Amino acid sequence: MLRIRGQIGDWPVDLTVEMDAEDWDQLASRLSPEMLDKAPAAAKAPSAPRTDALWETAQQLLREAGQMEGPRLLAELEALTGGVATGKRLLVRLRHSEQVHVEVREDAPLYIWRG
């Protein structure tokens, strides 16, 4: 998460931007090595434990539900992560997990926990 505080003219600004590891990597790719060395520790990419915690929570969500249609599961994952991109990445990860069977249906895929 990145927090920006300050003022634009007379207007106070307090903005919080949520960024996942991919966003941080993309931002870092645009910086020179000298700029990266000078960056404060708080501005560096978040550590993997948050990602692992999200993955564990995504698995638990499907495990507890037993099965869930793709659009509903995606909506749940987006709400869980606070972002569309991260929710989609978790959905893809679930799709390829050995713990999950995806039944292709006419309307929407059905994700089934088979643990």
Cα distance between residue 100 and residue 21, in whole Å: 25
pLDDT of residue 42: 47
| Model pLDDT, residue 36 | 57
- Whether pTM > 0.75 for this model: the answer is no
Write down the pLDDT at residue 21. Answer: 78
Q: Which of 40, 41, 52, 43 is nearest to 90 (CA)?
A: 52
> Which runs of consecutive H residues, i.e. helices, occur in the chain?
21-29, 33-38, 48-65, 70-81, 84-95
List of long-range contacts for 70-78, beta carbons under 8 Å, 24+ apart: 70/108, 70/109, 70/110, 70/111, 71/108, 73/111
**Tens place of pLDDT for every residue, the chain, 115 residues?**
677 888 888 888 888 888 777 777 777 777 766 665 666 554 555 555 566 888 999 999 999 999 999 999 999 999 988 888 889 999 999 999 999 999 999 999 999 999 8
Q: What's the confidence (pLDDT) of residue 88?
A: 92
Return the closest-CA partner of residue 19 out of 51, 41, 60: 51
